[in-house]
Homo-oligomer: A and B are copies of this chain.
């Protein structure tokens, strides 16, 4: 079995399905429709979308028919391209899905005229990455996304916060939904006149959780002056409840338009969502100005979900993007989306023993096999039970009773 992949046995599948079905039920309650895209995409749909590192992590599929002897010389020449990190349609023109966002973008761009905007889709499928396998990181794993394409309304952002809340409330998992805006981070770069360093600043801030403030300041000092770093430190240490944080941020950003826009968007999202979220038992919604969400394509609000009772990274995240389908020739489709980290949610729920006891759906009834005639009667009873939705089995052969008892015990 290949490194970084897993077989899922029944016991694990029932638990995973409990999580996935909870999420899917909530997706549908919020008006999202399912979408499934193929595991295999054209290589040029995927390359260049995930950065240079991402391109290296694509699982490329070898074209078939290469062993046609008449093509041998061409193949050798073309393979040189692949060796040099370029692609060759002749050697490989397909690859495995790397995430669910780019296939979704391709789908929206291709079917735009048939779709009613805003288009709300959810997608729960595996993705593949040639990452170095390690604990909790797999080469084949499930992503679980919901996106709204074709609307700039912040109501969507608020609804996604509510959706997070609903799912974790149902899973009985204690979480904080953290929210920030890329516009605020961008405003911060403007504030210190270092717009050209925006992505370096974002990357540095993104590490705060793991490395601490001192190290972040050190990283920033590599390309920023002391007074610039001081302002960022001031920003990163803003504290208080949501209202207090946003008030302090307003003071700081006073004259920076982009920062103020980000703050007012957060205010609107919080106003829309907080009354409903306050009704939940397990979920809080809080501004986190240090939230950065790594290097991806977000341009507006960004979200991250942390489990309160487990020392584990984020179990969900997402954000708003200005231009979902531009890369596929359809500019101007804005969107916002979130995703659930199913593997991590599984681990946390396992650690906290949050799976209900009645998840495992093994057989309820076992008929002992007492011989042929009795089997016929048992068959008839079994069918009656099954028609009433009760799972049952007849022991497969007329074995000694202690063997049949042993089987019954093992199967509970």
Residues of A within 8 A of B (CB): 1-2, 5-10, 13-14, 26, 28-31, 33-42, 45, 56-57, 59-62, 64, 66-67, 69, 72, 75-76, 79, 82-85, 91-92, 94, 96, 106-107, 110-111, 116, 118, 120-121, 126, 128, 130, 139-140, 148, 151, 153, 155-156, 158-159, 162, 166, 271-272, 275-276, 279, 361-363, 369, 375-376, 379-380, 383, 386, 389-394, 396-397, 407, 410-411
B contact residues around A67 at 8 Å (CB): 82-85
A379 touches B76 (CB 8 A): no
Query: Can you list 23 residue pairs at the A/B interface with Cβ under 8 Å?
Result: A2-B38, A5-B38, A8-B37, A10-B33, A10-B35, A13-B34, A14-B34, A29-B389, A30-B386, A31-B363, A57-B64, A59-B61, A61-B62, A61-B96, A62-B62, A66-B82, A67-B83, A76-B83, A79-B79, A166-B383, A272-B375, A275-B376, A275-B379
Report whether B153 and A396 are in contact in the complex, using a CB–CB cutoff of 8 Å: yes
User: Distance in Å from the Cβ of A95 to the closest Cβ of chain B?
Assistant: 9
> In angstroms, how far is the closest chain B Cβ from the Cβ of A4?
9
Do A139 and B391 touch (CB < 8 A)? no
Minimal Cβ-Cβ distance residue in B for A391:
B29
List of B residues within 8 angstroms of A159 by Cβ: 394
Question: Top 3 A-B pairs ranked by shortest CB distance?
Answer: A5-B38, A10-B33, A31-B393
Which residue of the partner chain, among B376, B386, B411, contacts A272 with CB atoms under 8 Å?
B376
Chain B: minimal CB distance from A202 (Å): 28
Q: Tell me, in angstroms, the Cα distance from A347 to B380 when the chains sit together.
A: 33
Chain B nearest CB, measured from A277 CB (Å)? 10
Given the interface contacts A13-B36, A31-B391, A92-B62, does A42 sit within 8 Å of B275 by beta carbon? no
Residues of B within 8 A of A59 (CB): 40, 61-62, 64, 94
Q: Is the CB of A66 within 8 A of B38?
A: no
In the complex, the chain B residue whose C-beta lies closest to that of A389 is B29
| Chain B residues whose CB sits within 8 angstroms of the CB of A411 once the complex forms | 116
A13→B2 CA distance, assembly (Å): 30
Contact A396 B156, CB 8 Å, known A62-B60, A67-B83, A380-B276:
yes
Identify A61's interface contact among B13, B61, B276, B394, CB under 8 A: B61
Q: B396 contacts A148, CB within 8 Å? A: yes
The answer to whether A39 and B36 have CB atoms under 8 Å apart is: no
Residue numbers in B under 8 Å from A140 (CB-CB): 38-40
A379–B276 CB distance below 8 A = yes
Residues of B within 8 A of A166 (CB): 383, 386
Interchain nearest-CB distance for A17 vs B (Å): 8
Bound-complex Cα distance A6 to B130 (A): 24
A116 touches B41 (CB 8 A): no
Return chain B residues, CB-CB under 8 Å to A5. 38, 40
Chain B residues, Cβ within 8 Å of A151: 396-397
Q: Cα distance A407–B121 when bound, in Å?
A: 16
Interface centre among A29, A36, A60, A391 (most CB of B within 10 A): A29
How near does chain B come to A261, taking the closest CB pair, in angstroms?
A: 18
Is A1 within 8 A of B275, CB to CB?
A: no
| CB pair B2 A40 closer than 8 Å | yes
Residues of B within 8 A of A158 (CB): 379
**A28-B361, A30-B393, A67-B82 given as contacts; is B272 within 8 A of A128 (CB)?**
no
Pick the contact of A396 from B41, B66, B155, B279 — CB < 8 Å? B155
Indicate if the CB atoms of B85 and A272 lie closer than 8 Å.
Answer: no
